[in-house]
Amino acid sequence: MPERLKNQRIVVSGGGRGIGVEIAKRLAGEGGSVLIADIDETVARETAEAIENSGGMASPCKVDVRDPGSVTAMIGAAVDTFGGLDSIFNNAGIAQVRQFLEITEEDWHTVMDVNGLGVLICMQEAVKQMLKQDSGGSIINMASIAGKQGYEPIAHYRALSRTIVPPSSVLWP
């Protein structure tokens, strides 16, 4: 694969499982240095090790995207490990399966805090670092098909998916 992302320092939140793993592998496969950030440090470490074992550059990081201090530490880890930040791929997200009338306020806040507030916090902290570097950068926010198609047992997840704006730039077609 071409190394069109060589010298690019990238954070992937939610990079330890599912789509995040594949995103991180692709970015590293194209030459990017990838910080694998996940709430589960074990899966972040496993993903980073798999990337390094295949010749890529990656490092794990534990993060709770709902916590500004944790996100600040994640951005700091990227800077400490790779020397800066060029891109962040906001992929961290959760979906809960609950029948509509069984969704609690706690369920609502959990989904909104991770899938909405977490994206905001990650974008803000990434932009602070990019401004500090005076180098610009890319922010990619993952969204879900649930914003276009209804699924009753994930109504609270779907509510936020409808508000996500499509990204204006992508790293690959």
Q: What are the pLDDT digits (tens) for 13-28?
A: 999 999 999 999 999 9
Does residue 96 lie within any of the structural domains? yes
Quick check: is 166 in a domain?
A: no
Inside any domain, residue 102: yes
Give whole-number Cα distances, 108 to 48, 69, 77, 94, in Å. Answer: 32, 22, 30, 11
pLDDT exceeding 90 applies to what percent of the chain? 71
pLDDT of res. 146: 60
Task: Please answer whether residues 96 and 148 qualify as being in contact, where contact means their C-beta atoms are separated by less than 8 angstroms.
Answer: no
Q: Which of the residues 114, 157, 160, 161 is marked catalytic? A: 157
The reply to whether 3 falls in a domain is: no
Q: Does residue 37 form part of some domain?
A: yes
In the chain, how many domains are there? 1
Which CATH number belongs to the domain containing residue 123 in this structure?
3.40.50.720
Residue pLDDT, tens place only, 19-75: 999 999 999 999 999 999 999 999 999 999 999 999 999 999 999 999 999 999 999
Give catalytic status of residue 151 as yes or no.
no
Q: Is the pLDDT of residue 173 over 90?
A: no
In a domain, 90, yes or no: yes
* Mean confidence (pLDDT) of the chain: 87
For 120-169, write each residue's pLDDT tens digit.
999 999 999 999 999 889 999 987 666 555 555 666 555 555 444 444 44
Q: Is residue 168 part of a domain?
A: no
93, part of any domain: yes
